[in-house]
Structure 1
């Protein structure tokens, strides 16, 4: 990020990131059900596996990626899915992918590393990211994600996740990661 780029965070008119309470109120307003679970902060898939207990359903990892041209993606896949960035880039049209910086993550999604999820797209008010979902992930019900904070998890149906994304104006690319090995 250049020095001239602001890092004020995402949100309406650069007002800063929206909060988990605002996100949950948005989901309630849309009639999209969820089960909320509070827990100690989780920063990695390994943390999640160790501390989630009996939380059922699909557990996912979320990759905030960019290419050299500044295009950005949020890739959401099952937590144990092996992802080769070179092969994924080829599947996404030849992009040379790398991980976005924590500053860029805060600027566009309003979250810290460890709190990334498709629900962070609530803060991408200019719709600058492309969303890629793991096809197999969508066979799990419920799916578990952090709602803008890594000390909470919401369990949602795949239909609820897709309805949330579409309400925000995203039509996610659904990729069969089994073919991008």
Structure 2
């Protein structure tokens, strides 16, 4: 089943309201932002990262305009040489693709071995936006509901200052 349909089904099961904007394929965060201009919600980027030995995995959600200091993140998570995971690893772990990674894909992580982090800077925002398994849609969800969703699939969220 298409990831978006699984997401939609799970959110409805949890009685979580959300809105979806359909648009042309967004190949960059800047392009995605233009498609949803004027709508309320912090524009996020979700990065899927690993340590040097590929023994630890991290999903980081932050404002899409912010640049990540990999060294600082490494210090926060107590890991050396944090880097982006490969396209193959993205698919193996969460059955997603580069450019459309979102916390919703964690439903596909059977091992539950990915640690989730959200930047403190955006945790107080009322709404967040994500690509729900496709770059042709943007999903708007209340931050409290995103946390409820993650809890329902057995993920703890770590709020960090990066």
TM-score, length-scaled by structure 2: 0.93
CA distance in 2, matches of 1:95, 1:172: 21
Preserved contact between residue 128 and residue 141 of structure 2 (Cα < 8 Å): yes
Pair 1:153 & 2:138 matched: yes
Partner residue in 1 for 2:154: 169
Q: Specify which of 79, 91, 111 is matched with residue 76 of structure 2.
A: 91
Q: Specify which of 121, 127, 130 is matched with residue 106 of structure 2.
A: 121
RMSD value over aligned CA atoms?
A: 1.4
Which secondary structure does the structure 1 equivalent of 2:75 belong to? helix
Q: Displacement, 1:93?
A: 1.1
Q: Displacement, 1:126?
A: 1.6
Partner deviation per Cα, 1:108-156 (whole Å, 9 max, x = no partner): 1111111111111111122121101111212212111111111111111
How many pairs are equivalent?
161
Which secondary structure does the structure 2 equivalent of 1:59 belong to? strand
Between structure 1 and structure 2, the one with the greater Rg is 1
Pair 1:38 & 2:22 matched: yes
Partner residue in 2 for 1:21: 5
Partner deviation per Cα, 1:47-104 (whole Å, 9 max, x = no partner): 2233323222111111110112321111100111221101110111133201101111
Partner deviation per Cα, 1:12-61 (whole Å, 9 max, x = no partner): xxxxx752111101110111111111111113212223332322211111
CA distance in 1, matches of 2:51, 2:27: 24
TM-score, length-scaled by structure 1: 0.83
Pair 1:134 & 2:119 matched: yes
Q: Displacement, 1:174?
A: 0.5
Gaps of 5+ in 2: none
Partner residue in 1 for 2:86: 101
Partner residue in 2 for 1:52: 36
Partner residue in 1 for 2:52: 68
